Structure 1
Amino acid sequence: MTDLGVHSTAREMVRAIASREITCSELMDLHLERIAERNPQLNAIVSLDEERARDGASEADRTPYDERGPLHGLPWAFKDTHDVAGWLTTYGSPLLRDNVPDRDELVVERIRKAGAVPIGKTNVPEFAAGSHTFNTVFGTTLNPVDPTRSAGGSSGGAACALAAGMVPLADGSDMGGSLRNPASFCGVVGLRPSRGRVPAWPSANQWEALGISGPLARNVGDLALLLSVIAGPDPRVPLALGDPGSAFAPPIAGSLKGLRVAVSPDLGGLIEVDAEVAAAVEAAGRTMAAAGSHVEADQPDLTLAEDTFRTLRAWVFQAGFKDLLADHPDEFKPSLADNIRAGEGLTGADVARAYEQLTAVGETARLFFERYDVLLLPTSQVPPFPADQEYPADINGRPMTTYLDWMRSAYLITVTGCPAISMPGATTRDGLPIGVQLVTAHGTDRRLLEVAAAYESLDFETRRGARR
């Protein structure tokens, strides 16, 4: 009899299956029981198909051992913006409520090839727009720590399901914080990899520079396991980085001793930050200093990143959704429709300027990381906000006039192209999770995982105590 449970690590689950301590079917039953217990309240997993899930687990039990991949037998709910052949994939939009793709996209293809067993999808905001997970197809995903609060987004269903023990690992995607914000809100680990690290296919625009898929996990070692599966080049994706996925496989170990760390709770005044979030970042800096890091207050100049992100995002959304919006003007949430329309007036000169600025911000980051190994800043500028709000109305009395304003701490980093990870850093006085964001130079994803693992190894109570 095994002591394995739904909150065991993914690596422990894989080892238990390989050593025959548990069957894939038994592991599936554990997770389906957990889903039945938690999902009716939290609404993290959608399009659940228990019969297909159990059939898939039975088939996994029959797979010869020499044909098993690194995720063999793990129950899996794919983000509902990732196409999965034969599974309902709605993108959180009523326009796609009956959409069943006939092929897997690349990140799904790799996860399924590694042996994961599909059970359903994870909930998303409409077309993954915004960092609060709600839509008119499935409703709102709630925070697993406090169900009156947001789980974040757009990978909110994924982060919630993971934190609640409904899945052992989760895939997501991130343009302006969609892996990092829900990780912060739900108390898990979320990585936005370096630009080009996790290739996307098929894609209408192989040169799009903002969005990328990535992993979510309950710990850094599990996150590295998933990154090792989804990372690596593909001949269909010309801008993919060349390192093989195996370069990121666990074990992951590192040290904070001697690291040059820049700490910035507000990016030099570019972002408004809740006081408890700022305190958590400052405490993390003190903790890293106590562990031997050389910590200074500093940040790169990301002034150009604001216009760059807003322009390129509007351009991408307008190109992707203008025809759908024209044909179905009443079938989009108003904030998304406004975002799409914001791209209508862009000129070639506007887009050219944004790409020049994208290059300049990347160069700023490169030079910054010649002086520092790590940048430490908030993941999200606020703790989880009430689930009945689309986004926070203000931070410290400063109005947030759009659904993007409160996400600057994430999307300004997006523009750098650098890898960024959200780690559980502290809790608020009310017990809500606060994530801290660690960033390293472009292409140094393995180094970032090592730093994150070293930070994770410090006792959480010690990290939280540093706030006092």
Structure 2
Amino acid sequence: MLHSSQNINEFGALDLSRALHTQQFSCRELMQATLAQLDRLNPGSHAVVSRVDSDALLAQADLRDAQLARGESMGWMHGIPQAIKDLANVQGLRTTLGSPLMKDFVASEDGLMAQRMKAAGAIVIGKTNTPEFGLGSHTFNEVFGPTRNAWDPSKSAGGSSGGAAVALAQRMLPVADGSDFMGSLRNPAGWNHVFGLRPSQGRVPMSPAQDVFMAQLATEGPMGRHVRDVAMLLSTQAGAHPSSPLSLKDDPAVFAGALDMDPQGHRIGWLGDLRGYLPMESGILAVCESALKSFSGMGCSVDEAALGMPPEQIWQAWLVWRQALVGPRIAPFLINPANRAHIKAEALWEYDQSLTLTGAQLMSASASRTRFYLSMLQLFEKFDVLAIPVAQVWPFDVSLRWPQNVAGRTMDTYHRWMEVVIYATLAGLPSISVPAGFGANGLPMGLALIGKPQGDWDLLKLAHAYEMANPDLIARRPPGV
């Protein structure tokens, strides 16, 4: 049914949905095209792991076609192939967390995100690769190996949603889920020239979860090659759930609405490198500032902005919160002391540091976080959106564990080189990475836009306006795709 001049893999998710529902092509044809793209590109990138048997997937696609033939549709994702990040459960598939200790664990039921995507009609074809326990913005592990950047296989894909970002960029998936603690939806999106949204705190409930009251820094969310696909997937992922008592009760259907808006008059505050506080590799600020010129051309005002409290205080609060939340995640794996030999050093460092934390330290860090949030509210009296680079370094050599030096400054932790992303996380604010452009090295970089509290919808509309104003930039494809 597909015209010979069309390439199914180039379709965005919403375009696929319309085409399937109007029978421009079948769910089987889409699955065949997806599997062929995986066979061609995934061996070189290791983006999708734990693949489901091809015959079983084609049989599921045939069932979806039969439903459409009867006039039945499960939802907008009807028949669309999906791979779920390997930190989330999918019934019958391995959830390895990138850890050799979990390499044989098979989930007995779906997590909430997989439930919602399946209910909308998605067909799960496998998982997307992630670093061990999702720690570190560089996707490598001892179970599946490294995921390689879509634009240069010798470079890192970022992380922890690195597999998802590369699968999108290489047209193996039309839209993807991910999760974000320290930039894990934003950094890999920026490094692979796609869009990645960290939703507002509580927008997307996470279940099952070890803790549903304190652990609010990490969130699941959507990625895509088009903002409209990101918004549509958010409409499926979002929505309150009883298992997540702090989840937002807003109707998620709003994210399925029209994104068109007039950006004229929007006020953008440019944080840059925080007046020299954040070390940045050469060329990153220039690429991001070129993207900001596009906003100026759209009628937005762009002015310099500054955080309302010393960044080092914010960082110290971040360290306490992160160790307090990450350490207990690692603890169950260390009930058996012999497991230390099978856990990466960065995770052990988080765990060991957490053992020395006191309640007084956590409350002090919480007070610092509160002061920071209030200072961000003051900034949003002057600006509608804040902008900052999505990373401080270009994609680095895939064989490195993490950059130990940035622009002449030594990094004192395995994640200090990603300090730039913590501001949206700590304040619980929505933030979307939009493709900013390419450096002299030919590698992509993203610009992070940070929205007002619970301002996901307005942020998505501004990002969509940016996408519409830069069609040639957004349309660029990685080599070999």
Q: Same fold (TM over 0.5)?
A: yes
- Map 1:185-224; keep pairs closer than 5 Å: 185-207=191-213, 208-224=215-231
- The one-letter code matched in structure 2 to 1:237 is S
Query: After alignment, is 283-292 or 107-116 more displaced?
Result: 283-292
Question: Equivalent of 2:368, from 352, 357, 378?
Answer: 357
- The one-letter code matched in structure 2 to 1:47 is S
* Secondary structure, aligned partner of 2:207: coil
Question: Equivalent of 2:246, from 223, 232, 239?
Answer: 239
Unaligned runs of 5+ in 1: none
Question: Equivalent of 2:450, from 439, 449, 459?
Answer: 439
User: What CA RMSD, in Å, does the superposition of the two structures yield over aligned residues?
Assistant: 1.6
**Alpha carbons 1:260, 1:373 under 8 Å: kept:** yes
Please name the residue that 1:79 is paired with: 85
Please name the residue that 1:88 is paired with: 94
Please name the residue that 2:326 is paired with: 317
Unaligned runs of 5+ in 2: 476-481
**Alpha carbons 1:299, 1:375 under 8 Å: kept:** no
Question: Equivalent of 1:413, from 418, 424, 428?
Answer: 424
* Secondary structure, aligned partner of 1:141: coil
Q: Partners in 2 of 1:402 and 1:101 — Cα distance?
A: 33
Please name the residue that 2:479 is paired with: none
- How far did residue 58 of structure 1 move? 1.8
Please name the residue that 1:123 is paired with: 129
- Map 1:316-355; keep pairs closer than 5 Å: 316-327=325-336, 328-355=339-366
Q: Partners in 2 of 1:261 and 1:47 — Cα distance?
A: 42
Q: Partners in 1 of 2:73 and 2:316 — Cα distance?
A: 49
Please name the residue that 1:141 is paired with: 147
- Map 1:3-402; keep pairs closer than 5 Å: 3-49=6-52, 50-63=54-67, 64-207=70-213, 208-301=215-308, 303=311, 304-327=313-336, 328-402=339-413
- The one-letter code matched in structure 1 to 2:334 is L
Normalised TM-score (structure 1): 0.96
User: Residues 55 and 384 (structure 1 numbering): CA distance in 2 closer, same or farther, change over 3 Å?
Assistant: same
Aligned residue pair count: 464
Query: After alignment, is 278-287 or 191-200 more displaced?
Result: 278-287
Q: Partners in 2 of 1:76 and 1:65 — Cα distance?
A: 23
* Secondary structure, aligned partner of 2:354: coil
- How far did residue 65 of structure 1 move? 3.5
- How far did residue 300 of structure 1 move? 2.4
User: Residues 336 and 448 (structure 1 numbering): CA distance in 2 closer, same or farther, change over 3 Å?
Assistant: same
- How far did residue 250 of structure 1 move? 4.0
**Alpha carbons 1:199, 1:240 under 8 Å: kept:** yes
- The one-letter code matched in structure 2 to 1:78 is I
**Alpha carbons 1:84, 1:105 under 8 Å: kept:** yes
**Alpha carbons 1:265, 1:378 under 8 Å: kept:** yes
- The one-letter code matched in structure 1 to 2:162 is G
- The one-letter code matched in structure 2 to 1:359 is T
- How far did residue 401 of structure 1 move? 2.9
Q: Partners in 1 of 2:80 and 2:260 — Cα distance?
A: 24
- The one-letter code matched in structure 2 to 1:281 is C
Q: Partners in 1 of 2:332 and 2:253 — Cα distance?
A: 41
Q: Partners in 2 of 1:166 and 1:183 — Cα distance?
A: 15
**Alpha carbons 1:174, 1:211 under 8 Å: kept:** yes
After superposition, give the CA deviation of every residue in 1:316-338 in whole Å (9 maximum; x if it has no partner). Answer: 12112123135211011112211
Please name the residue that 1:423 is paired with: 434
* Secondary structure, aligned partner of 1:346: coil
Q: Partners in 2 of 1:61 and 1:309 — Cα distance?
A: 49
- The one-letter code matched in structure 2 to 1:97 is K
Q: Partners in 2 of 1:210 and 1:131 — Cα distance?
A: 16
- How far did residue 270 of structure 1 move? 3.2
**Alpha carbons 1:325, 1:337 under 8 Å: kept:** no
Q: Partners in 1 of 2:307 and 2:360 — Cα distance?
A: 26
Q: Partners in 2 of 1:457 and 1:75 — Cα distance?
A: 26
Q: Partners in 2 of 1:423 and 1:250 — Cα distance?
A: 20
Q: Partners in 2 of 1:329 and 1:238 — Cα distance?
A: 34
**Alpha carbons 1:5, 1:30 under 8 Å: kept:** yes
**Alpha carbons 2:139, 2:161 under 8 Å: kept:** yes
- How far did residue 62 of structure 1 move? 2.2
Q: Partners in 1 of 2:282 and 2:427 — Cα distance?
A: 26
- How far did residue 391 of structure 1 move? 1.3
- The one-letter code matched in structure 1 to 2:50 is S
Normalised TM-score (structure 2): 0.94
Q: Does 1:459 align with 2:459?
A: no
After superposition, give the CA deviation of every residue in 1:275-306 in whole Å (9 maximum; x if it has no partner). Answer: 21111222222221222111111132352321
- How far did residue 460 of structure 1 move? 5.4
**Alpha carbons 1:255, 1:450 under 8 Å: kept:** no
- How far did residue 4 of structure 1 move? 4.4
**Alpha carbons 2:287, 2:437 under 8 Å: kept:** yes
* Secondary structure, aligned partner of 1:6: helix
**Alpha carbons 1:309, 1:412 under 8 Å: kept:** no
Moved over 4 A (4+): 460-464
- How far did residue 462 of structure 1 move? 7.9
Q: Partners in 2 of 1:85 and 1:432 — Cα distance?
A: 37
* Secondary structure, aligned partner of 2:447: strand
Q: Partners in 2 of 1:239 and 1:308 — Cα distance?
A: 22
Query: After alignment, is 268-277 or 236-245 more displaced?
Result: 268-277
Q: Partners in 1 of 2:261 and 2:319 — Cα distance?
A: 36
Q: Partners in 1 of 2:447 and 2:164 — Cα distance?
A: 19
Q: Partners in 1 of 2:473 and 2:253 — Cα distance?
A: 33
* Secondary structure, aligned partner of 1:55: helix
* Secondary structure, aligned partner of 2:177: strand
* Secondary structure, aligned partner of 1:275: coil
